[in-house]
Structure 1
Amino acid sequence: MSHTTLILLLSTAPLLICTEEQNRYHQLTAEQKKIVDTAIGIVHKQTRKHVNFVGFLKENPDREYYEFHLRPTLCEKNGENTHREDCKFGTPVLRINCAICNDLRESSIHCVQQTKAKEAETIRTTECSHKTGESSSLSHRADKPPECLGCF
């Protein structure tokens, strides 16, 4: 293999990886895109640049729990809270770790820099341990059995 071919091959590899990361968003289901777009909107309140989806780390649709990475791009925010194909990832490789559980309420969405994700596990475990309907009176168990109002 000639030196020119080798240099060309090595210089295009990062572009292929970047393009692959950008295309992952288009492989998501409509529900997954809604989850990611909601997180992008929340992260945009705290960043100067537009962020795009990178990929899922954990998914548990049965528990309604999703953990994934977002990453800042070179684009300015334009009010569009969705993955933008025209925006390329910037350097350095700062990743934002987002966890969403239960539903799409803002209170159940937690995003931090990847370096702080381990510290955030306690908060996420507490927030995500709530089950829908758990706080209703029908789901509570009494210490003693209820009185039998219709018993003879």
Structure 2
Amino acid sequence: MSAVLLCLICAGALLYSAEAQDAYNELPDNYKKGVDLVWKQLSSHAGVQHHFLFYRSVAKTDIESGFGVRYIYHNFHLRPTRCAKGTAETDLQRCPFRSDRPLMDCAVCYKMLADEIENEPKPYVHCIQRPKLTQQMTTARLDHCRKMAYNSGAPTLLAVSTE
């Protein structure tokens, strides 16, 4: 009986992580690129030992600035898995979620031109374990991203003189 229960739990964990992968696959490409940027930074951080999977979006903003320029803001949660960081992408589908670790709350904002993330202004990435997130951090994230979008300094057609 306990073997059957264990099999059901394992199957549920696999289905649950597959649902998270489906949530990532349903994101528009502009938002996937931001999630990938966060994964890249998390996997290069020495203190991070496990792999994270996209769990859900909390907030998304896409500001069209003209001439193919977009400013993207994405606040989302990542859920830790039992797989070590550096796990091959083909094996990530089988990574069960950890229930003994909190969600990672991430915010990322960046400028895109022609569907690619621009290096200037530098993309902003901030991730912290969910219980440690404060209102001041949330406000600071939003302020930083608003400044990035509104202070782009890019010329517009209206600024061009025809004289």
TM-score by length of 2: 0.64
Aligned position for 1:146: none
Aligned position for 1:121: 138
- 8 Å CA contact 2:109–2:123 kept in 1: the answer is no
2: CA distance, partners of 1:29 / 1:125: 21
Higher RCO (C-alpha 8 Å, min separation 6): 2
- 8 Å CA contact 2:107–2:125 kept in 1: the answer is yes
SS at match of 2:80: strand
2: CA distance, partners of 1:60 / 1:96: 20
How do residues 58-137 of structure 1 correspond to structure 2 at under 5 angstroms? 58-62=59-63, 64-78=72-86, 84-103=92-111, 104=117, 107-119=123-135, 120-132=137-149, 134=151, 136=153
Cα offset, 1:55, TM superposition: 0.9
Residues 1:127 and 1:90: Cα distance change in structure 2 (over 3 Å): same
1: CA distance, partners of 2:154 / 2:110: 19
SS at match of 2:51: strand
Aligned position for 1:55: 56
With 87-96 and 127-136 compared, the bigger mean Cα shift is at 127-136
Gaps of at least 5 residues in structure 1 are 140-152
Aligned position for 1:23: 22
Give yes or no for the alignment of 1:36 onto 2:52.
no
Whose Rg is larger?
A: 1
Gaps of at least 5 residues in structure 2 are 64-70, 112-116, 157-163
